[in-house]
């Protein structure tokens, strides 16, 4: 966690409470007026549809995840595999529940050009919630309202499934995401976090294994 004007001192984790009732589902009214860039042509509903992801989307989503890792100021390379995405997001019957969900932006000609990866969580104060782990739109399709449409559909999905919050955890290095959440959606209350690839030369998994074996010593 990094303390900044977006994360007041002493804050360990902050939640964004979006759309407490169905009547309040309108991402558009949260759009800020801060950006001075000219607006790009908006994709029509017929050109791009927002839908829930299916297992066959995993290959394309993984490609976009790797594409995201090459963006300026982002240094982490995904270690997740195609098999991980398929097994964890779309497990076979009897092999547990899905650990995450996908929502995709599908262009009529270009195919999937963006996605949101999110998973269920729980707040001790307000109950059911969802964590938005990753939202990505390819650069060529940005500034067309696709990110806002994904967020709006995600909010509707959350409400329909009994959640009252969507939590955003954003890397301090993901400047494009910060601009989107702050300028386009006018959101202020969310957590900024560090992504640390290793600590003292050890990977996260090595640290986790060491912690798991601590009680056996």
Convert the pLDDT of each residue in 111-137 to its tens digit: 999 999 999 999 888 899 999 999 999
pLDDT at residue 35, rounded to an integer: 39
Which tokens in the block code for residue 149?
């449409």
Whether residue 66 is predicted with pLDDT greater than 70 in this model: the reply is yes
- CA 173 – CA 194 distance, rounded (Å): 8
Q: Which residues face 121 on adjacent strands?
A: 129
CB atoms within 10 A of CB 84: 14
Annotated domain spans of the chain? 22-216
pLDDT-based confidence at 90, cuts 50/70/90? very high
Helix (H, G, I), strand (E, B) or coil at 164: coil
Here the tokens at position 216 are 């056996």
Prediction pTM value: 0.69
* 15 pLDDT tier (thresholds 50, 70, 90): very low
SS3 138: coil
Distance from C-alpha of 111 to C-alpha of 63, rounded to nearest angstrom: 12
> Which is the CATH superfamily of the domain at 22-216?
Gcn5-related N-acetyltransferase (GNAT) (3.40.630.30)
Tracing tokens 């995840």 back to the chain, one arrives at: 65
In 3-state terms, what secondary structure has residue 107?
strand
The residues carrying an active-site annotation are: 181
């Amino acid at each position: 966690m990094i303390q900044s004007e977006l994360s007041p001192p002493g804050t360990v984790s902050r939640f964004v409470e979006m759309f407490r009732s169905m009547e309040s589902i309108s991402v558009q009214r949260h759009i800020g007026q801060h950006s001075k860039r000219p607006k790009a042509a908006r994709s029509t509903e017929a050109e791009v549809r927002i839908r829930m992801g299916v297992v066959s989307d995993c290959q394309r989503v993984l490609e976009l995840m790797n594409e995201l890792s090459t963006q300026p100021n982002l240094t982490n390379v995904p270690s997740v595999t195609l098999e991980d995405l398929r097994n964890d997001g779309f497990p076979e019957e009897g092999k547990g529940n899905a650990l995450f969900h996908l929502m995709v932006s599908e262009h009529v000609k270009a195919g999937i050009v963006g996605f949101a990866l999110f998973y269920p969580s729980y707040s001790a104060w307000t109950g059911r919630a969802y964590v938005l782990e990753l939202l990505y739109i390819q650069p060529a399709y940005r500034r067309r309202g696709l990110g806002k449409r994904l967020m709006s559909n995600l909010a509707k999905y959350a409400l329909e499934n009994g959640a009252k919050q969507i939590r955003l955890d954003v890397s301090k290095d993901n400047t494009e995401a910060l601009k989107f959440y702050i300028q386009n959606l006018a959101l202020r209350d969310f957590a900024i976090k560090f992504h640390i690839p290793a600590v003292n030369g050890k990977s996260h998994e090595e640290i986790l294994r060491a912690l798991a074996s601590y009680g056996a010593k």
